[in-house]
Amino acid sequence: MILIEALAALVFLAFLIGLVVFTVIRWQQRLGQRRYEQSIEGRIEKNQEALDTQFSYIEKLHQDIQNPHIPENRRQILVMYQELAQKKHAQLLLEREALEAQREAEEFERTMERREL
Protein backbone atom coordinates (compact mmCIF):
# COMPACT_ATOMS: atom_id res chain seq x y z
CA MET A 1 0.00 0.00 0.00
CA ILE A 2 2.84 2.37 0.89
CA LEU A 3 4.53 1.47 -2.40
CA ILE A 4 1.42 2.46 -4.38
CA GLU A 5 1.16 5.77 -2.50
CA ALA A 6 4.85 6.49 -3.06
CA LEU A 7 4.50 5.66 -6.75
CA ALA A 8 1.43 7.91 -7.06
CA ALA A 9 3.31 10.73 -5.31
CA LEU A 10 6.26 10.33 -7.71
CA VAL A 11 3.96 10.39 -10.73
CA PHE A 12 2.22 13.48 -9.38
CA LEU A 13 5.57 15.15 -8.66
CA ALA A 14 6.86 14.31 -12.14
CA PHE A 15 3.67 15.77 -13.63
CA LEU A 16 4.09 19.00 -11.65
CA ILE A 17 7.74 19.33 -12.63
CA GLY A 18 6.85 18.68 -16.26
CA LEU A 19 4.09 21.28 -16.12
CA VAL A 20 6.43 23.88 -14.63
CA VAL A 21 9.13 23.17 -17.23
CA PHE A 22 6.58 23.34 -20.06
CA THR A 23 5.21 26.64 -18.75
CA VAL A 24 8.66 28.20 -18.45
CA ILE A 25 9.70 27.08 -21.94
CA ARG A 26 6.44 28.28 -23.50
CA TRP A 27 6.71 31.61 -21.69
CA GLN A 28 10.26 32.12 -22.98
CA GLN A 29 9.17 31.30 -26.53
CA ARG A 30 6.36 33.83 -26.41
CA LEU A 31 8.63 36.44 -24.91
CA GLY A 32 11.17 35.87 -27.68
CA GLN A 33 8.46 36.05 -30.31
CA ARG A 34 7.15 39.33 -28.89
CA ARG A 35 10.65 40.78 -28.82
CA TYR A 36 11.12 39.81 -32.46
CA GLU A 37 7.75 41.25 -33.48
CA GLN A 38 8.63 44.55 -31.84
CA SER A 39 12.13 44.65 -33.32
CA ILE A 40 12.88 46.41 -36.58
CA GLU A 41 13.34 43.09 -38.38
CA GLY A 42 10.01 41.79 -37.11
CA ARG A 43 8.21 44.97 -38.10
CA ILE A 44 9.79 44.85 -41.57
CA GLU A 45 8.68 41.23 -41.96
CA LYS A 46 5.15 42.10 -40.85
CA ASN A 47 5.11 45.02 -43.28
CA GLN A 48 6.25 42.72 -46.10
CA GLU A 49 3.42 40.32 -45.32
CA ALA A 50 0.96 43.23 -45.44
CA LEU A 51 2.46 44.34 -48.77
CA ASP A 52 2.09 40.85 -50.21
CA THR A 53 -1.51 40.63 -49.03
CA GLN A 54 -2.32 44.06 -50.44
CA PHE A 55 -0.69 43.19 -53.77
CA SER A 56 -2.76 39.99 -54.00
CA TYR A 57 -5.89 41.99 -53.24
CA ILE A 58 -5.06 44.51 -55.98
CA GLU A 59 -4.50 41.70 -58.48
CA LYS A 60 -7.83 40.11 -57.52
CA LEU A 61 -9.61 43.43 -57.96
CA HIS A 62 -7.95 43.91 -61.34
CA GLN A 63 -9.16 40.48 -62.47
CA ASP A 64 -12.68 41.22 -61.26
CA ILE A 65 -12.68 44.58 -63.06
CA GLN A 66 -11.65 42.87 -66.31
CA ASN A 67 -14.53 40.37 -66.03
CA PRO A 68 -17.02 41.30 -68.80
CA HIS A 69 -19.92 39.60 -66.98
CA ILE A 70 -20.17 42.02 -64.06
CA PRO A 71 -22.49 45.04 -64.16
CA GLU A 72 -21.07 48.50 -64.76
CA ASN A 73 -22.02 49.85 -61.34
CA ARG A 74 -20.20 46.93 -59.68
CA ARG A 75 -17.18 47.61 -61.92
CA GLN A 76 -17.12 51.25 -60.77
CA ILE A 77 -17.20 50.17 -57.14
CA LEU A 78 -14.33 47.75 -57.79
CA VAL A 79 -12.33 50.53 -59.48
CA MET A 80 -12.76 52.68 -56.36
CA TYR A 81 -11.68 49.79 -54.16
CA GLN A 82 -8.68 49.26 -56.39
CA GLU A 83 -7.68 52.93 -56.07
CA LEU A 84 -7.95 52.70 -52.30
CA ALA A 85 -5.94 49.48 -52.27
CA GLN A 86 -3.23 51.10 -54.39
CA LYS A 87 -3.05 54.03 -51.97
CA LYS A 88 -2.76 51.63 -49.05
CA HIS A 89 -0.02 49.76 -50.94
CA ALA A 90 1.85 53.02 -51.48
CA GLN A 91 1.49 53.83 -47.78
CA LEU A 92 2.87 50.41 -46.84
CA LEU A 93 5.82 50.97 -49.19
CA LEU A 94 6.56 54.29 -47.47
CA GLU A 95 6.36 52.60 -44.07
CA ARG A 96 8.75 49.93 -45.29
CA GLU A 97 11.23 52.54 -46.48
CA ALA A 98 11.01 54.28 -43.11
CA LEU A 99 11.63 51.01 -41.28
CA GLU A 100 14.61 50.21 -43.47
CA ALA A 101 16.02 53.70 -42.89
CA GLN A 102 15.58 53.20 -39.15
CA ARG A 103 17.34 49.83 -39.35
CA GLU A 104 20.25 51.37 -41.27
CA ALA A 105 20.51 54.21 -38.74
CA GLU A 106 20.64 51.74 -35.85
CA GLU A 107 23.27 49.65 -37.64
CA PHE A 108 25.31 52.81 -38.25
CA GLU A 109 25.05 53.76 -34.57
CA ARG A 110 26.21 50.29 -33.51
CA THR A 111 29.13 50.50 -35.94
CA MET A 112 30.14 53.89 -34.55
CA GLU A 113 29.90 52.60 -30.98
CA ARG A 114 32.18 49.68 -31.84
CA ARG A 115 34.73 52.00 -33.40
CA GLU A 116 34.77 54.17 -30.28
CA LEU A 117 35.57 51.16 -28.11
pTM score, whole prediction: 0.70
Q: Cα separation of 95 and 49, whole Å?
A: 13
54: amino acid identity, one letter: Q
- Identify whether the C-beta of residue 51 lies closer than 8 Å to the C-beta of residue 96: yes
First to last CA, the chain: 68
Q: How high is the pLDDT of residue 2?
A: 82
* Percentage, residues of the chain above pLDDT 70: 99
For the stretch 16-48, pLDDT in tens is 999 999 999 999 999 988 888 889 999 999 999
